[in-house]
Amino acid sequence: MLDLLESLQAALQTRYAIERELGHGGMAVVYRARDLRHDRTVALKVLQPSFSARLGAERFLREIRVVARLQHPHLLPLFDSGDAGGLLYYVMPCIDEGSLRDLLDREGRLEPAKALRLVREVADALAYAHRQGVIHRDIKPENILLEEGHAIVADFGVARAVSAAAEPGLTGAGVLAGTPAYMSPEQADEDAPLDGRSDLYSLGCVLYEILAGHPPFTAVSSIAQIARRLTEPAPTLSAAGVSAPAALQDLLDRLLARHRAERVASAAELAVQVADLERRLAPGAGALPEPASGRLATMAVLPFVNLSADPDNEYFSDGMTEELITALGRVEGLRVVSRASAFTFKGKDVDVREVGQRLNVGAVLEGSVRRAGDRIRVSAQLVSSSDGYQLWSDSYDRKLADVFALQEELTQAIVRSLPLAAARPRPRVLVRPSTTTTEAYTLYLRGRFEALKRSIPALVAAIGYFEQAVERDPGYALAHAGLAECWLLRGFEEFGDVAPLEAMPRGRAAARRALELDPGLAEGHGWSGVASLLFDWDWAAAEGSFRRAVELRPDYSLAHAWYAVFLMARGRHDEAIARSQLAAELDPLALTIRGVVGQCYHYGHRYDEALACHRATLEVDPTNMRALLWSSRTFRALGRPADALPAIEQAIAHWGRVPGLLSELGTVLAVLGRPAEAEAIVGELRGMEGRRYVSPFFAAAIHGALAMEEECRRGFARVEEARSGMIPFLGDPAFDSYRQSEWFQDLLRRTGVG
């Protein structure tokens, strides 16, 4: 060590003044040093001379440059790297607070709440790095530093560079890119390809140690440690004498699964699941601990009442409500109920205590908007849902041109009245105007008001408003995202009215334009994912877009729901159900999202649970089209077509003879042994083709139920040619009867579904 230090000091004397050793391991030594050029304290890490000689400077430094590009709040940045007289080194900030290892040595086990927060922060950092194609390979307590109590992941450099730069056989010569107590099973195989799930296994080992006081697999030697994880199931926390909630043990089981296909799918997904677990385990079932004032940091924003003389200004009061929900959702430590659930109370005289109970929130914001010409008046009050007492209220009179400043002032006042305002620093700016053109903004709000109705006429009207908004401000990213939403929904045959080849490219182009203008726009990523799923059939791109959307906005329930639909279509049923349930927790009263949960159960062949979801929806809305449609489909899958018939007939009685409902009716009639009536439905569908777009999928589905294989085959050829959004969903159990047909297998291969 002394020779190493002397050699290093001699080589770097003009750049760094080395003060003392901080620690060393089998691969490297870390020194505290002074960066002479920038007058700052740094940590200088140098590889042992034997490793430096084996790796070679050129390859090692090339890989280190990849790591140097990583920039994330929970990643330790790389300041410098180089070759000092044959010694390979790199330089990082010096974190005086120490590592997670130091904390565990001082305190032993940590409380679950603190453990989960640290794991979530590490998972967030890993998700970012994995998106850049970088796997850590050596997650352990020593490489998780603490800065003001927050996790900072260090040392991407050595493990990354050793693995990528090493000559063949180097790992077999004694260089292990990992630490045996935390290595994933696949790391023991030199030839096994690694992906991000290897890091998740290591992070699972860390979480286990934080809670249990020791790693999950202990042994007298490194070889024995590795052998145990290859041959034994991971121990439970109870085996270590630790009492833990079942949900926490379940998370550990999925992180420490021997086969990576059984683990949590990605670091991004892990971050979402840990955040959800934190909410579920926190006091008050998702609230912050209750302070002396009795106020909770969970809230709902009820639809602001339109008090304008013109009832047409309702779009403006609804838009103001949605903007406040979005802005408040940016506050760390504050859980805000999503729009759909909050808007179930629109126009209803409901006591705030009932709202709080149904939405599980501690406070409710109510308000009104009065617009007259270029003036707006907003009144708002925050009420405790536990006792109905007013916590805060105020009124604001402003010009319409100052609407964003008004929203910012209002939002900041609300945050100051909540308990987290004193405990946590709030963002300086919560309202982020996406346009400077007031006219474009009001047109956008009109478009949102129509788009959220989800009917075909409303989507047509919304497109008109969004197009006008874009004309006023071509750089209005949210308006482009609104266009993407409307065109993609109109091009999806399940409830759309325009041929996919006409509508989907417009929607895809609008989503791409939104992201060109604002790469951090969650809505742009979400609708880009929908285009990739329904039209491009590009599964990797779709999943990447959905993941990015929920990373940017973890409370974006609609993106979670579409991600669940993607997972459902790809046959990843457990993940789909979990993701849909998370969406439902974020938006507990949203019937559309509850329907997605039911669909995920259906595709997973969990029919009783699917029917329970649909029944719950129909109890609230007895004419809900999608609940009736999917009830019929699920009854068919259960072999109960007689129960399916009244459900689909009820849907048609209320919603009319629209193609999607007629297709299900024809299919039910075919299964019931009424072929003439089923073929009559096919004729009715074909008769509609001159008046509107009718997907060839609808007739093909009926022909499949009639066992008319040749007609079915020709129909699906037309479905493929039409770039139908129904193609990704050929995993529906309804197609099980001809799944083994050669033509169907060819279809699955050509489209990439199979």
Which residue has better confidence, 587 or 560?
Answer: 560
| Rg from Cα positions in the chain | 29
- What is the maximal distance between C-alpha atoms in the chain? 93
**pTM of this structure:** 0.61
- Note whether 15 and 126 are same-domain residues: no
pLDDT > 90? residue 733: no
At which of 93, 118, 135 does a domain end?
Answer: 93
Which residues are tagged catalytic? Answer: 138
Half-sphere exposure of 714 (CA within 13 A, CB side): 5
Give the end-to-end CA distance of the chain in Å, rounded to a whole number.
58
- Note whether 165 and 68 are same-domain residues: no
| Residue 42 confidence (pLDDT) | 92
What CATH number is given to the structural domain containing 46?
3.30.200.20
At which of 539, 554, 569 does a domain end?
Answer: 554
Span 540-551, mean pLDDT? Answer: 93
- Note whether 538 and 511 are same-domain residues: yes
498 in a domain, yes or no?
yes
46 in a domain, yes or no?
yes
239 in a domain, yes or no?
yes
pLDDT > 80? residue 274: yes
Regarding beta strands 80-84 and 87-93, do their DSSP bridges make them parallel or antiparallel, or are they unpaired?
A: antiparallel
| Residue 646 confidence (pLDDT) | 96
Q: 208 is in which domain, residue-wise?
A: 100-281
| Residue 234 confidence (pLDDT) | 85
What are 571-597's pLDDT values in tens digits? 988 889 888 988 888 888 888 999 999
State phi, psi for 388 to the nearest 5 degrees. 80, 5
Average pLDDT over the chain reads: 86
194 in a domain, yes or no?
yes
What are 403-440's pLDDT values in tens digits? 888 888 888 888 877 765 443 445 567 777 888 899 99
What are 479-522's pLDDT values in tens digits? 999 999 999 999 999 879 999 999 999 999 999 999 999 999 99
pLDDT band of residue 544 (cuts 50, 70, 90) is very high
What b/e readout covers 7-22, taking b as 16+ CB neighbours within 10 angstroms?
bbeebbeebbebeeee
- Note whether 419 and 447 are same-domain residues: no
Q: What is the DSSP letter of 99?
A: B
| Residue 204 confidence (pLDDT) | 95
570 in a domain, yes or no?
no
At which of 60, 93, 126 does a domain end?
Answer: 93
pLDDT > 90? residue 675: yes
What CATH number is given to the structural domain containing 243?
1.10.510.10
Q: Which two tokens stand for residue 429?
A: 């700016």
What CATH number is given to the structural domain containing 398?
3.40.50.10610
Distance from CA of residue 645 to its chain's centroid? 37
pLDDT > 70? residue 285: no
- Note whether 265 and 314 are same-domain residues: no
Span 270-287, mean pLDDT? Answer: 68
- Note whether 251 and 305 are same-domain residues: no
- Note whether 344 and 461 are same-domain residues: no
**What three-state secondary structure class fits 180?**
coil
pLDDT > 50? residue 295: no
| Residue 281 confidence (pLDDT) | 73
C-beta separation of 38 from 16 below 8 A: no
489 in a domain, yes or no?
yes
The domain tally of the chain equals 4
What are 434-460's pLDDT values in tens digits? 888 999 999 999 999 999 988 999 999
pLDDT > 50? residue 56: yes
694 in a domain, yes or no?
no
Q: What is the DSSP letter of 75?
A: B
